[in-house]
Every structure is written in structure tokens, then in C-alpha cells.
């Protein structure tokens, strides 16, 4: 088992070092964080491979253990024995530290028909209420009681939850709400139809995992998903897909340092729009396909980058989780670019640190920034405040002249496995210091 928190640490980075070599992408964080709680519905031992060793995974494991499951972590495989799961109240100490903990609600509703849940925590990227989840559960005839004073939610199934067909129309294309409804419906008799469902590849991976365990889910990856309830699930082994966000992060890091990096074993179709943006901005890359789905992404930056606008959208649109990294790319691009963040209200918190480093960025609104480049970034002392913004600051430090100290790197550890050691293997001058 790995350390739960690498607290009170910083990254010391000396920039202007070209990256070169091979980078093997981790398993998808946002798929693993849903499959692990899904295992509480599966009696016996289920093994999930290619699980990233990150802080958010360790928190989710603690949540699952608090419900009575036994968990082993061997290298990058997690073995979960849910035979002893006997609680529908996950440990609030971990729930309050992990926004993604909200997805434990669906499996517990499917298994017990009730759940007691605390207000989830997470990154500081804007207001992210769970209203969409609660409205969806109400569509399944789940009664919701909210104790605002104590930050508690009490959900319980009415008699009609366990019978008949249901249709859930989501209030927005929320990834976690889509996944929560899928998992809440797996063991529910009758058919459940989800409309305005999110389409992210991580949802497809979750559905494939559950189907292998005996669920009957169709339409994952489209805006309409149908779940036909089954009586029980069976233990399986499953390998998580590669992390498209980590792949995009490293591609941008390689480009801004002018290096040649081969990012191994990705699924390029998951990055279709991102690769189109790379092409438009003159980011030099090649794809070397191994088969119909998997391939290597080779970055070998030679040309001057060109400014291009982008706006974040639900998949297959440009991912909000690559917005901050793309902003750093645009600081090195010639011309003026505008980035429109459509999903979160406080995702530009990192921008003030890029400005401290010399970037020319105007914040026109909480959702719109204007960037002029290229600019020579300079080293500074800066702070991460969320996973992806923290990754962007690391990329900026790699591109900057001089030394940069990145503080609050526990945020980065939440989403990237040993990113300092893996960047060091590519030639980065980066050190973790107390």
C-alpha cells in the first residue's frame, strides 16, 4: 500500500531542459475511482488491474474498507473482497476529502436501498453541488432527506424503487451523475433509461467492467443508456484503460520543452479533438498505431507554436481537465488565443501564478481568459490549488528560465502517480523537497 498523503512537500524545478524518452501512461484515474466503489456490489474477490497509485485512489480504498470490504493493493492491482460489506454509511473523514466519493452512493443504493452520506470535498475549482445526483435519484423513487446543519444526506428507497421501469432525465451531462445512476440501477429490478447521459470513455470503461461482472448495460458512450436490472453480480478481473488526461498533459510538457517523447500505449480516439487542436496549433506529433485502438503518441516539437482558441465541453468536446495545461501551451504560441471554460466557475485560479511567471493573460470573466504569446516564462514560487492547475504549473516551470518552487503538491499527487520521478526519467530537473 502506498502513502495516503505526501504532505508538506514541494517541487523544485529548474526549467529549460528538453524532455526525451518514453512515458508509459497510467490507468485512467477517473475510471478507477468509479470501478472501485462498484465492487461493493460484487460478493467475493474482484481484481482490477492498471490502477494508478495516487492519493485519490488511496482515499477511495479507505472509504470502501469503512463499509466492511477487504482490500489488497499489489503493485498496480487492487483486489477487493466485498463479502463482508455491511454498512451503508461511508467514513465521512474520507468522504469530505474526496469529491469523487459521491459515486459510492449509487452502489450502496443498489445493494442496500439506502445510504447516509456527508458533503463531499475535493479540488477548489468552483461550486459543484450534487443536486444533479439527488434529482436523478428522486427519479428512481429514492427519498432524499438533507440535514444542512450537519452536512448530511439520508437517502432511502421507496417501495416503487424496486419495481417497474424508470426513466431518468439528467439535468446536465454530468459524468459522475451518469455513473451513479448506472450503478444505482444495476441490481434494481426492471429497466432504467438514462437520457442526457454523459458520453466520456470512462463511463464506457465502467459499463464494460460491470457487464463483464454480469450487469446488462447498453448505450454507454451515447446520450441514452439503458440498464436492465440483474439479481446479482459475479467477481471478475478487469484492466482499466489508459488515462487520456495524463497523456495530454505529458504531450504538452514535451511540446513546451521542445523535446521528443514517445507516450506509450494510449487510445488516440479518446483524444480526437485534442489532437485536432494540437494540429491547429502546430504541435508536432505522430501516431504509431499498434492495432485498431491502441497506439503511441510521439511528440517531436520543431515548429513555432501558433495560438488557437478553445472552449471546454463534455466529451467528445475539449476536456476541462486539459484546459489549464493548454493555457500554458498557449503562452508559448505566437499570437492571441482565448480560452472559454464552460464547466467550472473557479478553474482559472492557476492563472495568477502564470502571470507571476511573466505570462500575458487577461481574465475577462470567471469563464474566459485572453492569452498573448509567445512569452519567456521565468521561475518563481507558486502554489497549486487543484489537480490539473497544479499539473499546468509544473509544465510552466519546465518551460521557464531559472528555478521554480511549486507548493501544495498534494493536489498534484491526487491525480498523477509519482509525476516527479517519471518526469525526471525524461530528463526534467525536478526534485521533491520538504
Q: Which residues are catalytic?
A: 123
CB contact at 8 A, 404 and 357: yes
Longest dimension (CA), the chain: 65
Cα radius of gyration (the chain): 22
Question: 62 has which bridge partners?
Answer: none
Tell me how far apart the alpha carbons of residues 281 and 277 are, in angstroms, rounded to a whole number.
6
Residues 6+ away with beta carbon under 8 Å from 278: 251, 255, 285
Q: What is the DSSP code (8-state) at residue 275?
A: H
Percent of the chain as helix, strand, coil, to the nearest 5: 35, 30, 40
Tell me how far apart the alpha carbons of residues 19 and 185 are, in angstroms, rounded to a whole number.
46
CB contact at 8 A, 127 and 119: no
Q: What SS3 state is found at 103?
A: helix
CB contact at 8 A, 197 and 178: yes
Report the half-sphere exposure of 184 (CA within 13 A, side-chain side).
35
Detail the DSSP E strand segments found in 42-100: 45-49, 70-74, 77-81
CA 389 to chain centre: 13
**269-278 as b/e, with b when 16 or more CB fall inside 10 Å?**
ebbebbbebb
User: Is the Cα torsion angle 414, 417, 421, 426 positive or negative in sign?
Assistant: negative
Phi-psi region of 428 (alpha: psi -120 to 50; beta: other; left: phi over 0): beta
Q: Which one, of 201, 130, 217, 137, lies nearest residue 169 by Cα?
A: 137
Q: What size, in residues, is the chain?
A: 434
User: Is the Cα torsion angle 206, 211, 212, 214 positive or negative in sign?
Assistant: positive
CB contact at 8 A, 172 and 196: yes
Amino acid at each position: 500500500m502506498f502513502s495516503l498523503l505526501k504532505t508538506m512537500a514541494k517541487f523544485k524545478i529548474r526549467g529549460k531542459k528538453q524532455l526525451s524518452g518514453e512515458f508509459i501512461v497510467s490507468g485512467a484515474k477517473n475510471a478507477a475511482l468509479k470501478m472501485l466503489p462498484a465492487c461493493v456490489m460484487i460478493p467475493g474477490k474482484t481484481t482490477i488491474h492498471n490502477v494508478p497509485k495516487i492519493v485519490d485512489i488511496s482515499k477511495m480504498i479507505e472509504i470502501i474498507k469503512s463499509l466492511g470490504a477487504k482490500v489488497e493493493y499489489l503493485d498496480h492491482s487492487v483486489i477487493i473482497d466485498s463479502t463482508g460489506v455491511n454498512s451503508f454509511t461511508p467514513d465521512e473523514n474520507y468522504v469530505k476529502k474526496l469529491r469523487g466519493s459521491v459515486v459510492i452512493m449509487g452502489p450502496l443504493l443498489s445493494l442496500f436501498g439506502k445510504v447516509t452520506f456527508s458533503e463531499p470535498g475535493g479540488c477548489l475549482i468552483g461550486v459543484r453541488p450534487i443536486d444533479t445526483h439527488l434529482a436523478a435519484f428522486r427519479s428512481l423513487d429514492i427519498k432524499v432527506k438533507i440535514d444542512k446543519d450537519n452536512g448530511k444526506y439520508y437517502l432511502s428507497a421507496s417501495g416503487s424503487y424496486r419495481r417497474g421501469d424508470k426513466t431518468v432525465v439528467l439535468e446536465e451531462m454530468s459524468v459522475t451523475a451518469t455513473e451513479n445512476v448506472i450503478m444505482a440501477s444495476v441490481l434494481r429490478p426492471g429497466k432504467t433509461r438514462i437520457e442526457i447521459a454523459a458520453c466520456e470513455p470512462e463511463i464506457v470503461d465502467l459499463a464494460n467492467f460491470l457487464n463483464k461482472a454480469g450487469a446488462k448495460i447498453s448505450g454507454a458512450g451515447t446520450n441514452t443508456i439503458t440498464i436492465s436490472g440483474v439479481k446479482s453480480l459475479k467477481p471478475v478481473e478487469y484492466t482499466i484503460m489508459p488515462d487520456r488526461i495524463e497523456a495530454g498533459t505529458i504531450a504538452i510538457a514535451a511540446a513546451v520543452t521542445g523535446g521528443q517523447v514517445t507516450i506509450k500505449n494510449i487510445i488516440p480516439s479518446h483524444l480526437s479533438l485534442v489532437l485536432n487542436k494540437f494540429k491547429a496549433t502546430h504541435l508536432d506529433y505522430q501516431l504509431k498505431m499498434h492495432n485498431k485502438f491502441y497506439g503511441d503518441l510521439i511528440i517531436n516539437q520543431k515548429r513555432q507554436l501558433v495560438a488557437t482558441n478553445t472552449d471546454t465541453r463534455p466529451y467528445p468536446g475539449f476536456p476541462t481537465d486539459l484546459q489549464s495545461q493548454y493555457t500554458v501551451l498557449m503562452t508559448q504560441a505566437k499570437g492571441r488565443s482565448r480560452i472559454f471554460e464552460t464547466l467550472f466557475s473557479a478553474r482559472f485560479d492557476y492563472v495568477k501564478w502564470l502571470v507571476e511567471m511573466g505570462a500575458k493573460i487577461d481574465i475577462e470573466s470567471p469563464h474566459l481568459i485572453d492569452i498573448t504569446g509567445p512569452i519567456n516564462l521565468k521561475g518563481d514560487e507558486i502554489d497549486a490549488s487543484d489537480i490539473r492547475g497544479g499539473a499546468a504549473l509544473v509544465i510552466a516551470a519546465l518551460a521557464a528560465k531559472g528555478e521554480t518552487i511549486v507548493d501544495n503538491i498534494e493536489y498534484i499527487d491526487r491525480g498523477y502517480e509519482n509525476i516527479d520521478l517519471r518526469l525526471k526519467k525524461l530528463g526534467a530537473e525536478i526534485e521533491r523537497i520538504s
